[in-house]
Chain A
């Protein structure tokens, strides 16, 4: 087992030819580390997460997650790797509106054997996670996910991302739709759950104020030469 969870080397990525969005010589996240990555809107945060999540193939350089070079995997294997090892939480619209709370949380177990096995009793584990995140109330569980508050929806999304103890949890601005008070509470729950399961957390936001809660906080500009070049221009 390698000690690094995420290792990005010499990565270059551009959506439009000649306009590099990312040019990252090196970016490393250690196992179990909780990292806050900050950057202004449009700086390429989501793009970087797509590359780490194996949804976008790197054009140049390498992205290693848990020692596996994603760029060298065929797309199906990348998809499978993501299903097995990475949990995602997005800004909003994380949930399938036509599924109930529990059905949403157990979704990763339908696509990854590894996570199903690691979860043990999937439904019990889903309930435990929801409980730990403070939304285990039966009244909430039976509710249509569309009727939950945004904060509750985001906690359901975290429970789903953590089901089956993925090695890495990637959060793409999950708090930006929450008010300040809810945001603090949400982050504390997220942190303690990651700590409890030993999950590596890569948390991305443009809200610099949140950085102090993490093991490490850095700006995307510090690792991304393309961003610097553009900002300089």
Chain B
């Protein structure tokens, strides 16, 4: 076999232009296959970690995917809210490390407004447990302050200190403009390549405040409509100022309570209609209901217990989901397209190998003399067969290796862009099992494909014998 391998290599070298093109086309197809799979798996990874470090997402009872869609991806609307009381109850549970309210329903020029707490900037995680970072500025402190996601700031050209108004509803054009309450931009977040980039973050109190004048009827927010609170709640007396988040953390939200002077600017004609027991009236209206809330638990076991407890909670129909699990479910649906892409890439590999077979078959006629010479020096037809299989094996191997190289270089070069635009990170230290499998399969397929020209050459050399003429 060794002399044949040398012959195959030298023969290919003598046809290096055609052979080079064949190798290149196989290489490009393999590159495509590898890169598509790399991007695909990284996209899945990145999708699965659109939200990470959050143990539970709690919302009104309904479909888990639906809850995930509106709370994380800001797609669609919940039909019911979660009561502030339930949120407070969970937040103050001893096993809960932190809880962050999410209140949706408003927008600013097509971007969703998210009512939340400053804990959001501290506890929210995405990707590989990355926390949100401020490109510039700081979290909101006063009532009418807002923090913009990177896309919002970039698209609308906002800077710190700009004033924005919030519209009711989520369309580009909204009929109710809460223009009397402009928000001042205090911070802009660094890009995350998650829906966070497309959100305007304000405090939940601010969301309540801008709706306060319309709230009595409860008709104001049809999408995220706040159900009338139970009478028992309104009857409760006002208590001392509690932290918004439970769990003994104190991370800056106290400044929110100190900013009472801002709240004082609020029109006196819009007092909270149903001030809750643990809510200071001077901070703005207490939220009666929120869209959902994110929970970080102290232990994994506590997560499971809390999830069960919430899903079986009698007083209010709640749904608690583990985001990772539901993200995987959602990926089953979203991921179909990229599987199709993988199939296409595999077809391109097939085309590359077909091109190789074509090139080899075409060369056979002019190589009949070469085969006759080989036969005359003692090569058996089997040698001729093996020679051609080796040639295609060499072409496929070179192509596969070129493909790995191209894919690696391509991803290396494209990495910064892919990271910035899509939040994709690539681990390019060592070839993955998949890379090796693809390389192996392509080489094996190349050897198999080589049997066709090899068989032709074998038949030719039997028929030609030694006397192949000009």
Binding site for B on A (CB under 8 A): 46, 49-50, 53, 55-56, 75-76, 79-80, 82-84, 88, 90, 92-99, 103, 107-108, 110-112, 115, 160, 172
CA distance A98 to B12 in the complex (A): 9
B359-403 contacts to A (CB < 8 Å): 369-370, 373-383
**A96 neighbours in B (Cβ, 8 Å):** 7, 11, 370, 373-374
CA distance A97 to B370 in the complex (A): 8
**Band of interface residues on B:** 20 to 34
B467 touches A83 (CB 8 A): no
**A83 neighbours in B (Cβ, 8 Å):** 377-380
Pull 24 A–B residue pairs with CB atoms less than 8 Å apart, ordered by A.
A46-B467, A50-B467, A55-B375, A76-B380, A76-B382, A79-B375, A79-B380, A80-B380, A83-B377, A84-B378, A88-B376, A88-B377, A92-B470, A94-B376, A96-B7, A96-B11, A97-B370, A98-B10, A98-B13, A103-B10, A110-B3, A111-B378, A115-B378, A172-B466
B185-240 contacts to A (CB < 8 Å): none
Q: Which residue of B lies closest to A111 (CB)?
A: B378
A-B contacts, CB under 8 A, total: 72
A93 touches B470 (CB 8 A): yes
CA distance A25 to B140 in the complex (A): 112
B377 touches A107 (CB 8 A): yes
**A79 neighbours in B (Cβ, 8 Å):** 375, 378-381
Contact of B466 among A88, A103, A107, A115 (CB under 8 A): A88
CA distance A88 to B468 in the complex (A): 13
Contact of A50 among B369, B370, B383, B465 (CB under 8 A): B465
Nearest chain A CB to B311's CB is how many angstroms away? 74
CA distance A103 to B6 in the complex (A): 11
CA distance A95 to B467 in the complex (A): 14
Asked whether B429 is an interface residue with its Cβ less than 8 Å from the other chain, the reply is no
B428-451 interface code vs A (CB 8 A; 1 in, 0 out): 000000000000000000000000
B470 touches A90 (CB 8 A): no
**A82 neighbours in B (Cβ, 8 Å):** 378
Nearest chain B CB to A18's CB is how many angstroms away? 20
User: Does more than half of chain B's interface fall in helix, strand or loop, or is it mixed?
Assistant: helix
A111 touches B373 (CB 8 A): no
Asked whether B14 is an interface residue with its Cβ less than 8 Å from the other chain, the reply is yes
Nearest chain A CB to B249's CB is how many angstroms away? 76
A172 touches B467 (CB 8 A): yes
B373 touches A49 (CB 8 A): no
B370 touches A55 (CB 8 A): no
B379 touches A111 (CB 8 A): yes
Q: Which residue of A lies closest to B466 (CB)?
A: A55
**B465 neighbours in A (Cβ, 8 Å):** 50, 53, 55-56
Given contacts A50-B465, A98-B14, A172-B467, contact A90 B380 (CB under 8 A): no
CA distance A79 to B375 in the complex (A): 8
Given contacts A46-B467, A88-B466, A99-B10, contact A94 B373 (CB under 8 A): yes
**A110 neighbours in B (Cβ, 8 Å):** 3
B378 touches A93 (CB 8 A): no
**Nearest 6 A/B pairs, CB to CB:** A83-B378, A111-B378, A98-B14, A110-B3, A55-B465, A88-B376
**A75 neighbours in B (Cβ, 8 Å):** 381
CA distance A192 to B466 in the complex (A): 25
CA distance A56 to B464 in the complex (A): 10
Most chain A CB neighbours (cut-off 10 Å) among B10, B377, B465, B466: B377
Nearest chain A CB to B82's CB is how many angstroms away? 77
B383 touches A111 (CB 8 A): yes
B10 touches A95 (CB 8 A): no
A76-B380, A115-B378 known; 18 other A-B pairs, CB under 8 Å? A50-B466, A50-B467, A53-B376, A55-B465, A79-B378, A79-B381, A83-B378, A83-B380, A84-B378, A90-B466, A93-B369, A93-B470, A95-B373, A97-B14, A98-B10, A98-B14, A99-B7, A99-B10
CA distance A96 to B3 in the complex (A): 14
B378 touches A90 (CB 8 A): no
CA distance A96 to B14 in the complex (A): 10
A93 touches B373 (CB 8 A): yes
**B466 neighbours in A (Cβ, 8 Å):** 49-50, 53, 55, 88, 90, 172
Q: Which residue of B lies closest to A51 (CB)?
A: B465
Contact of B377 among A50, A56, A97, A111 (CB under 8 A): A111
CA distance A46 to B383 in the complex (A): 23
CA distance A50 to B374 in the complex (A): 14
**A80 neighbours in B (Cβ, 8 Å):** 378, 380
A108 touches B378 (CB 8 A): yes
CA distance A76 to B378 in the complex (A): 11
Q: Which residue of A lies closest to B9 (CB)?
A: A98
Nearest chain A CB to B203's CB is how many angstroms away? 78
CA distance A111 to B3 in the complex (A): 9
